[in-house]
Amino acid sequence: MLADGSFVTASKDKHVDLFWAVRGGGGNFGAVTSFLFQAHPAKMVFAGPIFWDAKDARQVMAMYRDFIPHAPEDLGLFVGLKTVPPTDPFPKEHWNKRACALIGAFNGPIADGQKLMASLLEKLAAPLFNWMGEMPWTAINTLFDPFFPKGLQWYWKGDFVKALPDEAIDVHIANALKAPPPFCLMHLYPIDGAVRRIAKDATPWSARDALFRW
């Protein structure tokens, strides 16, 4: 619904300028009353978190940086610098430990996901715990909900970067260690795959040449 109260349908064929603008240009163009999404099949996935002690964070992040550009698009995997939540089901001996985590999902044959992650894990120190396993896609999307109840006052800030040198890894780890536990955390997401196959001027989003988002 536009500012004058009229209703329009924006698509690649109708009101193309509005369709271009709403895909990354913010929410100042009107009130959207319905969306039609292009979905992708996902049912059972190989997914979950793997946590390492913070002392291994540099190794984990450097190895991840070199691994993820060559991983198949079926794998979605991000880094977390955080604190082990002081609650079940996390092992009590690790509660409130500063940690580095890899969290994600492989949307393909479970055996392929296991083999892919094994090729990464064999190069890393032993984790505190590894909870990657077969689960429904909906489960990985709600896995951490119980630890972040409604009512908390959240503040998020991020940026896009085109490189992740060792010096940047060191700075981020140093700052993560200063963050107040247990809810303050830092995430690193890869910008790759299908996002790179869309022209830079196809939408208002201008970070298609970035490698990572903090």
Eight-state DSSP code of residue 179: S
Query: pLDDT value at position 69?
Result: 93
For residues 18 and 117, state if they share a domain.
Answer: no
- Provide the CATH number for the domain around residue 175: 3.40.462.20
Determine the structural domain holding residue 110 and report its residue range. 44-199+206-213
Query: pLDDT value at position 121?
Result: 97
Per-residue pLDDT tens for 181-199?
Answer: 888 999 999 998 888 888 8
Whether the link from the prior residue into 89 is cis, omega within 30° of 0, is: yes
For residues 67 and 52, state if they share a domain.
Answer: yes
For residues 159 and 111, state if they share a domain.
Answer: yes
Cα-based distances in Å from 48 to 60, 86, 211: 16, 18, 23
Residue 55 has phi, psi (to 5 degrees) of -65, -20
Eight-state DSSP code of residue 66: H
Count of structural domains within the chain: 2
Per-residue pLDDT tens for 22-54?
Answer: 888 877 888 889 999 988 899 999 999 999 999
Residue 99 burial by CB count (10 A; 0-12/13-18/19+): exposed, middle or buried? buried
Residue 60 burial by CB count (10 A; 0-12/13-18/19+): exposed, middle or buried? buried
For residues 34 and 89, state if they share a domain.
Answer: no
**CA separation for the pair 55, 52 (Å, rounded):** 8
For residues 67 and 157, state if they share a domain.
Answer: yes
For residues 74 and 136, state if they share a domain.
Answer: yes
For residues 27 and 125, state if they share a domain.
Answer: no
Residue ranges of E strands in the chain: 44-53, 75-83, 98-106, 129-130, 133-136, 160-161, 186-190, 212-213
Radius of gyration of the chain (CA): 20
For residues 63 and 157, state if they share a domain.
Answer: yes
Would you say 200 and 208 are in contact if contact means Cβ atoms under 8 Å apart? Answer: yes
Digits of tens for pLDDT over the chain (214 positions)?
998 999 999 999 999 999 999 888 877 888 889 999 988 899 999 999 999 999 999 999 999 999 999 999 999 999 999 999 998 899 999 999 999 999 999 999 999 999 999 999 999 999 999 999 999 999 999 998 888 888 888 888 999 999 999 999 999 999 999 999 888 999 999 998 888 888 888 899 888 889 999 8
For residues 49 and 27, state if they share a domain.
Answer: no
Residue 46 has phi, psi (to 5 degrees) of -95, 105
For residues 129 and 58, state if they share a domain.
Answer: yes
Sign of the torsion formed by the C-alpha atoms of 191, 195, 197 and 198: negative
For residues 50 and 151, state if they share a domain.
Answer: yes
Tokens representing residue 150 in the block: 């409604």
| Secondary-structure breakdown of the chain: helix, strand, coil percentages, each rounded to the nearest 5 | 30, 20, 50
Q: pTM for the complete prediction?
A: 0.89
Eight-state DSSP code of residue 198: S
Query: pLDDT value at position 28?
Result: 82
Tokens representing residue 173 in the block: 């780890």
For residues 107 and 186, state if they share a domain.
Answer: yes
Query: pLDDT value at position 196?
Result: 87
